[in-house]
Structure 1
Amino acid sequence: MDGAFENFKEQVRSAADIVEVISSYVPLKKRGQNFWGCCPFHGEKTPSFAVNPGKNMFYCFGCHEGGDIFKFIMKIEGCGFMDAMKLLAGRYGIPVPEKQRTAAEIEQEKQRERIYQTNGTAAKFFQACLLKTAYGQSALAYLAGRGITKEIIDSFSIGYAVNSFGALVTSLGKRGYGAQELEAAGLAAKGKSGFYDKFRNRVMIPIKDPKGRIVGFGGRVLDNSTPKYLNTSETAWFNKRRLLFGMDIAYKAIRSSRQAIIVEGYMDAISLHAAGIGNVVASMGTAFAQEQAALLKRMADETVFCYDSDSAGRRASVRAVSIAREAGLKVRIAGVPEGKDPDEFVRHHGKEAFMQVIAAAQEGVDFQIEETILQGDVTNLAGKVDVVSNILPFLLECKSEIEAAEHIRRLAQRLTIDEGLIAEEYRKAAKKGGAKNEPVNVRLPQRKQANAGQQAEELLLAVLLEQPLLAYECLETVGRTGFSTPQLAQIFDKLCELQAKDAFTVDKLNDALEDAAQSALAGIRTRQIPSGDANKLLADYLRQLQRSYWEREYEKHRLLADEYERSSDERFMDELVETQRIKDEIKKLYGNYK
């Protein structure tokens, strides 16, 4: 990052009053050093959301979300870091430094803005045709038949393209938009006799980016002719992978509920909004993308996919689960009964019935497993082996060994296969494929002293935040023991990196961390460090880290020994010897163990 950017960021950070900003979104009351309110990121009645102006941070003791003022704006507004900075800069009258742009970049930006203007004017023309002309009566009747009210038409800026080859080109031409501009926007095409309207005799549905700018259109026929939908071709400003239809309307409901319902098409989303279900967006087809998952992660914790119940929709749901889970979202799959799509179901059965479908949605990995079983042949051993092989990639995506173990247990029951055999195949696949967690034993439970161990880790890091020079004294022990979570490990690593450059500040550390680690850092900063000599405290916490490490190792090898013994594996004795060695080590260092 260049100096101008860093200066701008620090200027905004210094000017922004975190209490003033957050209180414009959340009612806060002062109690002690903190200001308290109900968390805007999860539903609660008793305030557990704290804002500390001295440390310039917020932290929720309920959902453990936390960070600085930039993180809050990103979460509450569903925007990226740069947009959060610009929003705060505008609030405090701080000019945004302009990046030096090339002539080509300036021209491209002008073209993009002109496209937005063209699309906006076209949308007004289409809506006028729908609401104010006789031509639009058939389209209005069609929409009314699908439960689409005038209010929903206004919310989504729905319009109608008349059955004419030149109505839009002529009308926008009179308003100063050339035919070539309409062609660039995807609204017109060039034929032998000149330019003509691309959309004719269709209900026109504007597609907007999260800022509400119209980037394209979807046109739906009023009858059974084909193609049913005609969409704007993809361009630099209209990329389906980076858009979710309805996000400009749904983001507040998604942010409030922390849940997004994802459907396939425009009309599914519009019908659900018309029924009073506000946290719905459409992926505009069945190809859910990583960019869309990242967009949702900014404002939601859970996604519920409600694609069509046909084979294509189910296959797409299987793929979507993996993509959403990779982004850190919880995932469930809702199956619409009777093979109906969401639009048809909600129109026939109403909001409450549809919300019951959402409430009964299946956990994502369970859906992947069940769908894979249904597509296979589990009437014989060879078929079961193939099914397990196809399910293993989904198990390897699990975030913890405990989660994978539970799925393996249920899969073994479903296929009437020995659980240990599936677990062994899972370990082989993890080792071969280099799974992120590289699990050794899928039956590993949470250790009894996990809370005490993590508390020591967090207090250790709290001491280092106050005295970062002491980090050097921890390197050897931490290098051997590690931390219990990747977030705490990242905090330690980044702290050491900054300290090595003699550049450590808490703000710089926070800026260097990923989202989850920022929340963990905020939680650490809420801890009260016991009074006493910092070096002695450090030694005590390092000692606890070592003990927790040895106890983890003991549990891992003990459970492996148990599993090998059950399966008559000769490695049983090796693991038994290792558990005794670790037990002796713990006893030597800390006294009697178990």
Structure 2
Amino acid sequence: MYYSDEIIEEVRSRNDIVDVVGQYVHLQKKGSNYFGLCPFHNEKSGSFSVSAHKQMFYCFGCGAGGNVITFLMKYDNLTFQEAVKELAERAGIKLPEQDDSPAAKAARDKKQILYDINKEAAKYYYYQLRGKTGQKGMEYFRSRKLTDETMQHFGLGYANITSDDLTKHLKKLGYTDGQIIEAGLASHDDKMGTHDKFWNRVMFPIQDASQKVIGFGGRVMGDGKPKYLNSPETPIFDKSRNLFGLNYAKNSRAGYMIICEGYMDVIAMHQAGFNMAVASLGTAFTTGQAMILKRYTDEVILSYDSDEAGTKAALRGIGILKEAGLKGKVLDLRPYKDPDEFIKNEGREAFEERIKNAENTFFFEVRVLQSQHDMSDPQSKTEFHRKLAMKLCEFEEALERENYIEAVAARYNIAVDDLRRLVSSVASQGGLVRKVERPKSGIQQKRTPEDGAKKNQRLLLTWLTDEPQLFPKVTRWITPEDFSDDLYRNVAKELFQGMESGNFSPAAILDRFTDEDEHRQVAEMFNTNLIEIETREQRKKAFRDIIYGVKAAGYDRLKKELKPDDPDFLTKTIQGKKELEKLSHADIMPDD
């Protein structure tokens, strides 16, 4: 569906980016912008910035950036048209009727084909499990005490031991090799041709929150490797942004969600009546998954295996929940390994009791910390107490910190005044001091002269969008032609024209650039800031240096593009050099 620029602008302007992003990311205002943890990569410090003034987001860590439409496209894996439609509905805007021309329909249905292929595959696996060839798979599920109703509820299936059954079936339905491969259900090589990705495995269909099958998990029958195999990432399947069982758990009214490790844990819990259980998809729990959970609840109980690996996963999960602004607890499954094993041995009521007594995440961390110290040795015990005091320093609110000091003192038989003094001592050494650092990407790259020139241009474009009143001072020296390459010049032209007419919008400019890499670069152009400008003198010097840097880069480009036999070669070269000399002696003031 084609939407006019006017419609797109109305949809964008009626959806404040801070409000929209705030539904998915926990944002805190710092200065004129809002910051939070980037939903597009795992991080511990908030490098994800949202600007109400520019109506843009930008991550200083991974470089993701864009406007409110781009955010929804990237976050929910939507097409441009799908994102516009969702935002229009949110703002109560009626969109034009859908374009049903063959070309428009073909483009719109490209993702739908992948959904359809996965749906047909799920049906095929489902019937294979219940046929003669699926006996091995059925025996496995029976051994795990699953009922027919549960197997039907989750659409469980079986992939035959032959390696091309599904591919043949889907091709009979009219799908091409390329489409089947793109859906993540087949591979191709010279020896075997196009062949099934899954075979000799019990199959777990993975559905998104709207009940569409987007991928599969498969457990091998026997001793084959890998034990569990998941669909590869496809245009409709992003492992880090989906959760197994969420399509059912989202409707739970428990008031909390339980996240565990495997498909069978989720299925066993749902069968026992705990329909709030979900699992990550063959990957570690991610910030993106935490933010998905936040749409449905504000409390998450971690239910990982009780072995060392499970403990590490729980500790990591606690950090992710904190970063996402979610309350967390940890389920103690000892002496059993996982929820499935616990329920089989102890039953539903005992498991429900464990949920009621789920451990506060702070005390879980402290219990793990204590297990790493010999409490019979005075030196080791003292070291544990000091680390305990350091953890108590993490509570920024005085009242909350005091409540935990009293609770910890009672639990570990420490005199409360002694613990309070130890916490104060640690705090005085920096335990309560949170150093605020500028977000970093963590990636160090060699800088070239061209990189420096482009950085000056990005700094200038960002400065202009932050302080448009500087535009007349900039245009006294700089034109769009001074920018170094086509992309930068095109952005500068758009911005300068908008500022001349008094109607500029960085978010609107972004929509002119649909290529993903260009879109990212343009977002960066409006989100490049100088690290430290504290005094008026520093501001003046930075402004002058940036103006000169942009002009010098433009002059260098001009010299490279002009040929000696060009009739204007000498004139333009001399003129450019004079302008640079004049600029080098000019007193350029951003504030006067």
Deviations 1:334-355 (A, max 9, x none): 1113233111211232211111
Q: Secondary structure at the match of 2:258?
A: strand
Q: Secondary structure at the match of 1:337?
A: coil
Deviation of 1:92 after TM superposition, in Å, equals: 8.1
Q: Secondary structure at the match of 1:144?
A: helix
Aligned to 1:167: 165
Aligned equivalents of 1:184, 1:260: Cα separation in 2: 32
Establish whether residue 242 from structure 1 lines up as the match of residue 262 from structure 2.
no
Written as runs of structure 1 = structure 2, the 5 A alignment for 1:10-159 is 86=86, 89=89, 94-95=94-95, 111-131=110-130, 133-159=131-157
Deviation of 1:196 after TM superposition, in Å, equals: 1.6
User: Contact 1:264–1:286 (CA<8 Å) still a contact in 2?
Assistant: no
Deviation of 1:214 after TM superposition, in Å, equals: 1.9
Aligned to 1:68: none
Aligned to 1:251: 250
Aligned equivalents of 1:355, 1:96: Cα separation in 2: 51
User: Contact 1:245–1:283 (CA<8 Å) still a contact in 2?
Assistant: yes
2:257 to 242, 257, 260: 260
Deviations 1:281-318 (A, max 9, x none): 11235722111111111111211111110111111111
Deviations 1:126-146 (A, max 9, x none): 111112x20112212221232
Written as runs of structure 1 = structure 2, the 5 A alignment for 1:218-297 is 218-253=217-252, 256-285=253-282, 287-297=284-294
Aligned to 1:327: 324
Aligned to 1:408: 405
Deviations 1:127-177 (A, max 9, x none): 11112x201122122212323223222222211101001101111111112
User: Contact 1:293–1:324 (CA<8 Å) still a contact in 2?
Assistant: yes
Give 1:94's aligned amino acid. Answer: K
Aligned equivalents of 2:160, 2:334: Cα separation in 1: 36
Aligned to 2:212: 213
Aligned to 2:424: 423
Aligned equivalents of 1:290, 1:169: Cα separation in 2: 35
Aligned equivalents of 1:388, 1:232: Cα separation in 2: 47
Q: Secondary structure at the match of 1:190?
A: strand
Q: Secondary structure at the match of 1:348?
A: helix
Deviation of 1:96 after TM superposition, in Å, equals: 6.9
Aligned equivalents of 1:83, 1:382: Cα separation in 2: 59
Aligned equivalents of 1:393, 1:232: Cα separation in 2: 43
User: Contact 2:182–2:234 (CA<8 Å) still a contact in 1?
Assistant: no
Give 2:321's aligned amino acid. Answer: A
Aligned equivalents of 1:283, 1:272: Cα separation in 2: 15
Q: Secondary structure at the match of 1:257?
A: coil
Aligned equivalents of 1:197, 1:226: Cα separation in 2: 16
- RMSD over aligned Cα atoms: 3.8
Query: Which range is displaced more, 219-228 or 383-392?
Result: 383-392
Aligned equivalents of 2:373, 2:281: Cα separation in 1: 29
Deviation of 1:123 after TM superposition, in Å, equals: 0.8
User: Contact 1:206–1:216 (CA<8 Å) still a contact in 2?
Assistant: yes
Percent sequence identity over aligned pairs = 34
Aligned equivalents of 1:129, 1:243: Cα separation in 2: 26
Aligned equivalents of 1:356, 1:391: Cα separation in 2: 28
Seen in structure 2, the aligned counterparts of structure 1 residues 416 and 161 have a Cα distance that, compared at 3 Å, is same
Q: Secondary structure at the match of 2:335?
A: helix
Query: Size of the alignment, in residue pairs?
Result: 364
Seen in structure 2, the aligned counterparts of structure 1 residues 6 and 195 have a Cα distance that, compared at 3 Å, is closer
Q: Which residues of structure 2 form unaligned runs of 5+?
A: 17-75, 438-592
Deviations 1:469-488 (A, max 9, x none): xxxxxxxxxxxxxxxxxxxx
Query: Which range is displaced more, 392-401 or 112-121?
Result: 392-401
Give 2:232's aligned amino acid. Answer: S
Deviations 1:416-451 (A, max 9, x none): 483111233145444443389xxxxxxxxxxxxxxx
Deviations 1:451-506 (A, max 9, x none): xxxxxxxxxxxxxxxxxxxxxxxxxxxxxxxxxxxxxxxxxxxxxxxxxxxxxxxx
Aligned equivalents of 2:391, 2:212: Cα separation in 1: 37
Deviation of 1:273 after TM superposition, in Å, equals: 0.7
Q: Which residues of structure 1 form unaligned runs of 5+?
A: 14-77, 437-594
Give 1:140's aligned amino acid. Answer: M
What's the TM-score, normalizing by structure 2? 0.54
Q: Secondary structure at the match of 1:252?
A: coil
